[in-house]
């Protein structure tokens, strides 16, 4: 097994952090260093702890301190040179480029998880610079195409879809299928993610408005800059009886399992981890068919509508509520789909990438 040092921008609770956490939890010889430490957010995504002796978190808060962290990493690499440096998110990419200039014999991997970086003006420079210093991992063919459009040779790109941990998320044996009717007669529809416009909260409220006549309750889990605006919009649309905000939820497994439907109307994604986690828990998914996400789920295992078409998605949800057979079918097919993205398969493919790089 390759001895790998993972760099990530911070120790928050996003999809990239969950992925890095899962790798390190399964591979104790790997080390993880966040460049910036966020107080109040322990390195325990999804509430699962890990032996922190293998995760030397740098307790730094400001972006300036990220530079100090890089100097600390440089000293650590002198003491314990890793076989490979694996960089996640943009600040870590910059750190990896700088470190590779000083340690050219240490192979570098630059792993793209962030959909928003695609819209940055400096992204073309960053991705080309990273490609000169190592290989790139894309979490979907969609992001691989973006790499190629920005001048990266296809031979320098590895497509490796994200994983979920079936041992953690998978519904208990014999309890994977949703009951034919909710116990209290109200269908719980949930969303989880950052409360920002691109995640589609406006679409969620539009769908709630269109389904006023249905026995539903929509719960938004997460935090974000639009939280206050969402509260005001719910009041202005008089949707208090249909929509509520749950804030940050630690136990996502329990949240997914408590739902009758997971609603994910994001405007763009480079893959789509949350819908797969919901499916693994036996909870069907409704979403917009957008690039990246459509590589994770399909019409065979989820309710999908054209991007931004809230009327179409509302109609599908209405049918879902009224059709017990459809609910059972999507629950079963969703679980089968989620198993395709097992962490065990992922780790085998990731190790093969490490060995390919080390043997070149």
Q: Which fold, 4-163+342-359?
A: Rossmann fold (3.40.50)
Question: Residue ranges of the alpha helices (H) in 166-270?
Answer: 166-169, 201-210, 227-236, 252-258
337 half-sphere exposure, CB direction, 13 A CA radius = 27
**How far from chain centre, in Å, is Cα 215?**
30
Global pTM reads: 0.86
Gap between the Cα atoms of 287 and 206, Å rounded: 14
103: closest CA among 131, 84, 129, 130? 84
40: closest CA among 13, 14, 19? 13
Instruction: Please give the pLDDT value at position 50.
Output: 39
Q: 273-280 and 15-26 are packed helices; what angle lies between their axes, rounded to 10 degrees?
A: 60
Instruction: Please give the pLDDT value at position 38.
Output: 64
**How far from chain centre, in Å, is Cα 99?**
27
Instruction: Please give the pLDDT value at position 68.
Output: 73
Gap between the Cα atoms of 329 and 34, Å rounded: 41
CA dihedral over 307, 308, 312, 318, signed as positive or negative: positive
Gap between the Cα atoms of 158 and 136, Å rounded: 6
Q: How far is CA 158 from CA 21, 24, 69, 173, in A?
A: 21, 20, 28, 35
CATH number for 166-340 (one of 3.40.50.300, 3.40.720.10, 3.40.50.2000, 3.30.110.40): it is 3.40.50.2000
31: closest CA among 71, 85, 96, 67? 85
Q: Are 212 and 241 spatial neighbours (Cβ–Cβ below 8 Å)?
A: no
Instruction: Please give the pLDDT value at position 219.
Output: 98
If 0-12 CB within 10 Å is exposed, 13-18 middle and 19+ buried, where does residue 9 land?
Answer: buried
pLDDT in tens, the chain (360 residues): 789 999 988 877 678 888 888 888 888 888 888 887 765 555 554 444 433 333 444 454 566 666 777 887 888 788 888 999 999 988 899 999 999 999 999 999 999 987 666 778 888 899 999 999 999 999 999 999 999 999 999 999 999 999 988 777 876 644 555 656 776 889 999 999 999 999 999 999 999 999 999 999 999 999 999 999 999 999 999 999 999 999 988 889 999 999 999 999 999 898 989 999 999 999 999 999 999 999 999 999 999 999 999 999 999 999 999 999 999 999 999 999 999 999 999 999 999 999 999 998
DSSP code of residue 178: P
Instruction: Please give the pLDDT value at position 56.
Output: 44
Tokens of 140: 């979907």
Domain-by-domain residue ranges, the chain? 4-163+342-359, 166-340
């Amino acid at each position: 097994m390759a001895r790998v040092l993972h760099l990530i921008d911070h120790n928050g609770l996003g999809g990239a952090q969950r992925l890095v956490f899962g790798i390190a939890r399964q591979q104790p010889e790997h080390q993880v260093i966040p460049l910036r430490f966020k107080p109040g957010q322990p390195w325990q995504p999804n509430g699962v702890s890990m032996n922190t002796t293998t995760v030397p978190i740098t307790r730094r808060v400001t972006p300036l301190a990220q530079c100090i962290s890089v100097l600390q990493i440089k000293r650590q690499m002198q003491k314990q040179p890793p076989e490979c440096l694996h960089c996640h998110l943009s600040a870590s990419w910059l750190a990896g480029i700088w470190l590779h200039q000083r340690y050219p014999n240490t192979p570098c991997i630059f792993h793209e998880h962030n959909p928003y970086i695609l819209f940055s003006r400096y992204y073309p420079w960053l991705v080309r610079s990273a490609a000169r210093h190592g290989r790139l991992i894309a979490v979907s063919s969609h992001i691989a195409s973006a790499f190629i459009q920005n001048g990266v040779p296809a031979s320098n790109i590895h497509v490796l879809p994200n994983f979920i941990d079936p041992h953690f998320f998978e519904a208990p044996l014999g309890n994977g299928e949703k009951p034919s009717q909710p116990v209290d007669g109200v269908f719980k529809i949930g969303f989880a993610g950052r409360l920002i416009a691109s995640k589609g909260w406006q679409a969620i409220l539009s769908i709630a408005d269109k389904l006023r006549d249905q026995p539903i309750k929509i719960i938004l889990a997460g935090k974000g800059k639009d939280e206050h605006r969402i509260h005001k919009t719910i009041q202005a649309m008089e949707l208090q009886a249909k929509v509520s905000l749950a804030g940050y939820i630690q136990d996502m497994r329990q949240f997914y399992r408590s739902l009758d439907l997971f609603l994910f109307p994001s405007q763009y994604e480079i893959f789509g981890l949350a819908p797969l986690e919901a499916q693994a828990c036996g909870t069907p998914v409704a979403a917009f068919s957008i690039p990246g996400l459509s590589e994770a789920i399909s019409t065979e295992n989820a309710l999908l509508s054209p991007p931004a078409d809230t009327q179409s998605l509302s109609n599908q949800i209405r049918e879902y509520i009224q059709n017990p057979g459809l609910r059972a079918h999507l629950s079963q097919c969703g679980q089968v789909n989620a198993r395709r993205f097992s962490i065990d398969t992922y780790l085998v493919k990731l190790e093969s990438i490490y060995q390919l790089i080390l043997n070149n």
